[in-house]
Amino acid sequence: MTGHRNPTRRRAVGAAVAATALSLVVVATAPLTASAAVGRKSTTTAADPYANTDLHAPAATLTGAGSTFDQPFFTRAFYVYHQTDPGLTVNYASIGSGGGIAQFQAGTVNFGATDVPMVATDLAKDTGGPALQVPIDLGGVAISYHLPGVGSALHLTPSVLAAIFLGNITMWNNSALKKLNPKINLPNQPITVVHRSDGSGTSYIFSNYLSDVSPTWLSKVGTGKSLNWPVGIGEKGNEGVAGFISGTPYTIGYVELAYALQNNFPAAWLLNKRGNYVKPTFDSVAAAAASKPNLSATNFPIVNSNGANAYPISGYSWVLVYQQQKDATTGTALVDVLDWLSHAGQKPAKALGYVPLPPNIQQLARTTLLKVVGPDGTVLLKK
């Protein structure tokens, strides 16, 4: 039955192929003309046809994209939120802060998430008007190492840490290290520095700290998510760095606090600004955050902060939202879930190794969200 019996159908198939081909070409060439042409159409509402019977709980699907740091927290928190409010589904794609910012600017997601706030010049590129940045979670960076038989006893000062990562201290039995750690039998072995190979907010916070404490680091390397590292090898992700450190003696590197806590990794004591040696813990990172109440998206670093018990390598992650929402229903759902995330939602954060936001920062998140308005200019958050 392979006959040539239906030429019209053939032709129809041919036309369909042609149409598909054409649309594929359009898709393929679209990004090079203007990605904004894709448009803001992701504000899908009313996914559930029965949800509209209850006007107070309109069904909505929100999409977000960005930071991989936030991903475990968001996945857990949005799941918890969905249990209490089944009308709302939040899809979060952890494509990295850079990707999140790009998607947000193109208007293809309802919110973006980034480990480092956007600067004003980048905010100006947004297609959807002025954007707001909301602090959403808090983390620290632990200095981890592999010295057989030492445990979590290593003590470091900012200048020694910078010297190690600059390649100026290359041996474990260097006199400066010996002086800080008289009780440890430091081996006569070269130090292998391990850093992140992928662009990451963890690297940003860590380099931000080193830039703050070391003028040499500031001028030579600087602060960023991807750096021109003077020494060491790169491993992908916290798991890559941690895995290499645990498998290779005489290494030192930095991992996210959550990762270090969950895996019970050795973490060095670090001398803070007030002259106290501090270990990275929930409390010491929270102390660092609390010592900077006047946080804003333009004045956001909390590294090397002034608290007596503050751990000096800490930082926030941020969520990006447009100040004027195109759709009141979606916008309301968005500010509601973000307000919950920055308050009650911090509980699941702690279980996952994130440091809960201090009360004053929770308040800052709320005052920022109160600036979000609907298409007609009314404030969407009812708090």
Binding mask 49-88 for other proteins (x = CB under 8 A): -------------------x--------------------
Three-state secondary structure of the chain: CCCCCCHHHHHHHHHHHHHHHHHHHHHHHHHHHCHHHHCCCCCCECCCCCHHHCCCCCCEEEEEEECCCCHHHHHHHHHHHHHHCCCEEEEEECCCHHHHHHHHHHCCCCEEEECCCCCHHHHCCCCCCCEEEEEEEEEEEEEEECCCCCHHHCEECHHHHHHHHHCCCCECCCHHHHHHCCCCCCCCCECEEEEECCCCHHHHHHHHHHHHHCHHHHHHCCCCCCCCCCCCEEECHHHHHHHHHHHCCCEEEEEEHHHHHHCCCCCCEEECCCCCEECCCHHHHHHHHHCCCCCCCCCCCCCCCCCCCCCCCEEEEEEEEECECCCHHHHHHHHHHHHHHHCCCHHHHHHCCCECCCHHHHHHHHHHHCCCECCCCCECCCC
48 contributes a contact to other proteins by CB under 8 A = no
Among residues 29, 53, 83, 188, which is the contact residue for other proteins, using CB under 8 A?
A: 29
Among residues 43, 133, 181, 192, which is the contact residue for other proteins, using CB under 8 A?
A: 192
248 contributes a contact to other proteins by CB under 8 A = yes
Site size toward other proteins, by CB under 8 A: 56
User: Which 92-151 positions form the footprint of other proteins (CB under 8 A)?
Assistant: 95-99, 101, 114, 116, 122
User: Which 158-187 positions form the footprint of other proteins (CB under 8 A)?
Assistant: none
Instruction: Return the number of the residue (9 or 382) whose C-beta is nearest other proteins.
Output: 9
25 contributes a contact to other proteins by CB under 8 A = yes
Taking the complex as a whole, the smallest distance from the CB of residue 44 to other proteins amounts, in Å, to 25
Instruction: Return the number of the residue (114 or 330) whose C-beta is nearest other proteins.
Output: 114
Among residues 64, 112, 158, 201, which is the contact residue for other proteins, using CB under 8 A?
A: 201
Which residues form the interface with other proteins (CB under 8 A)?
Answer: 1, 3-7, 10-11, 13-14, 17-18, 21, 24-25, 28-29, 31-32, 68, 95-99, 101, 114, 116, 122, 190, 192, 197-201, 207, 221-229, 232-236, 240, 243-244, 247-248
